[in-house]
Amino acid sequence: MICFDKTAIETLGKVYRLNLINSCTGFKSANLIGTASREGKTNLAVFSSITHLGSDPALIGFILRPTTVPRHTYTNLKDLGYFSVNAISERFIRSAHQTSANYPEEVSEFEATGITIEWKQGILVPFVELSPVQLLCKYLNEYTIQENGTLHVIASIEKVYVNEAMLSEDYWIQLDKGGVVSINGLDGYAKTELIERLPYARVNKENIAI
C-alpha cells in the first residue's frame, strides 16, 4: 500500500489533496438542498455531508464551508428557517452536480441546470420534482468548528416524502429501488445496490461468516 503521512498530505497540490482526503473516508450521501430567499428567489446546491443525528427527535446535520464569502444556502435557510433535502438519483446526476458551480445570487440553480421545481402546498421552500426522497427541514442551531471555520448546521426533520415503492412494511426505505446514488470524493457518483439487510445484532446471537 502507498502511505501518505501528514507532511506528504500537506505538500500535495490542492487538487490532489482535495481528491485524496475527500475520497479516503468512503462513500457519502448525495443530496440537493433547496432554499428560497424572503423575496422568493430559489437556490439549489449539492451536499455530500448530510448525516443522521437522531430519530427521536428526528435530526440531521450538515457541514457548511466558512461564511467568509457569500453562501446563498446559508443566508436563505437563516432567513426563512426552513430548507428541503432531496436525494439525488441516477436520472439527474449531471444536472445535480452542475449546481455546485458558483452561480451569482440572482441566478437560480433550478433554472440554470434545468432541474424542475416542485412546490408543496403551504411550504415556502422548493423541492426537486424528480427526487424519490424529499425532506422538509427546520433550522435549529449551528456550531462553529474552530479547527477550520466550517459550520455544523443542525436541523429537525419536519416532513418526509418518499416514493411508495421504496417503502417497506416496517417503514425502512430501500434507497436503491429509487436509483439513489452516493458520492465518492467530490465528483464521483456511484450506484447503490442492496446486498443484504441483517437482523438487529445481539450478544450471543453471532452468525458471522467471513
Digit-coded pLDDT (tens) for 39-92: 999 999 999 999 999 999 999 999 998 876 667 899 999 999 999 999 999 999
Judged against a pLDDT cut of 90, whether residue 206 lies above it is answered with no
35: domain CATH number?
Answer: 2.30.110.10
User: Cα 165 from chain centroid?
Assistant: 22
Task: Judge whether 61 and 50 are in contact, CB under 8 Å.
Answer: yes
Share of the chain above pLDDT 70, in %: 95
Q: Is residue 93 part of a domain?
A: yes
Residue 43: which residues within 8 A CB-CB, separation 6 or more?
34, 35, 36, 37, 72, 73, 76, 108, 109
pTM score of the predicted model: 0.93
Strands 82-87 and 31-36, sheet pairing: antiparallel
Q: Is residue 60 part of a domain?
A: yes
Each residue's pLDDT tens digit, 134-170:
999 999 999 999 999 999 999 999 999 999 999 999 9
* pLDDT at residue 106 is higher than 90: no
SS3 (DSSP) at 93: helix
State the burial class of residue 4 (Cβ atoms within 10 Å of its Cβ: 0-12, 13-18, 19+). middle
In a domain, 1, yes or no: no
Give how many domains the chain has, as a whole number: 1
C-alpha 103: how far from chain center = 19
- Look at residue 112 and tell me if it is in a domain: yes
The domain containing residue 87 runs over which residues?
A: 30-191
Does a structural domain hold residue 72? yes
In a domain, 61, yes or no: yes
The answer to whether the CB of 51 falls within 8 A of the CB of 60 is yes
Is residue 206 a part of any domain in this protein?
A: no
Q: Is residue 199 part of a domain?
A: no
pLDDT band (50, 70, 90) for residue 201: confident
| Distance, CA of 158 to CA of 164 (rounded, Å) | 18
For the segment 85-109, the average pLDDT, to the nearest whole number, is 94
